[in-house]
Amino acid sequence: MHNGLNPDEMDKSVGFKVVKLALRMKQELRRAFLAAGLDVTPEQWAVMNKLYLAEGLSQSELADQVCKDRPTITRILDTLERRGLVVRGRDHTDRRRYRVHLTMAGSEMRGKLYPVTKGLGDKLISGLDAEEIARFKASLEILLKNLE
């Protein structure tokens, strides 16, 4: 059944291109981590990097900041905690909440991961000048706001 949508319209849509780029970046980042001997997923990287930048986030704050649902963030944190990269502790003001912190090993791992992500980020924007990058970022912000 045809719904009136030209078959190659989807491939050319902004939404499809954004999703395709995000998936491709995730695949490339995973490959780059493994090539560097770092057995960390892009999702785990995102969590460790957020904790490096904002130490002591609650699990729900962390989930919101890395765009993951609560069960997924719990699974990621369980894995990172088993590996000794993060530690969860009770919030001193609200005993129902847990605060998450990078361990020394987690901070060291983040230090190894960062150059890999920086290299891939540089590869992604190669061929674009500063003005094009700024316009692209501004356009992405508009798209995100449009969906709020």
Three-class SS state of 133: helix
pLDDT > 70: what percent of the chain? 95
| pTM of the entire predicted model | 0.85
Query: What pLDDT does 58 receive?
Result: 92
Instruction: State the pLDDT confidence band at 91, using cuts at 50, 70 and 90.
Output: confident
What is the spatial distance between Cα 45 and Cα 119, in angstroms, rounded to a whole number?
14
CATH number of 14-146: 1.10.10.10
- Evaluate whether 113 touches 38 at the Cβ level (below 8 Å): yes
Separation CA 37–CA 69 (nearest Å): 28
Residue spans per domain, the chain: 14-146
CB 106 within 8 A of CB 86: yes
Mean pLDDT, rounded, of the chain: 92
CA angle, corner 39, sides to 119 and 52, nearest 5?
Answer: 65
Span 62-71, pLDDT tens digits: 999 999 999 9
CB atoms within 10 A of CB 74: 15
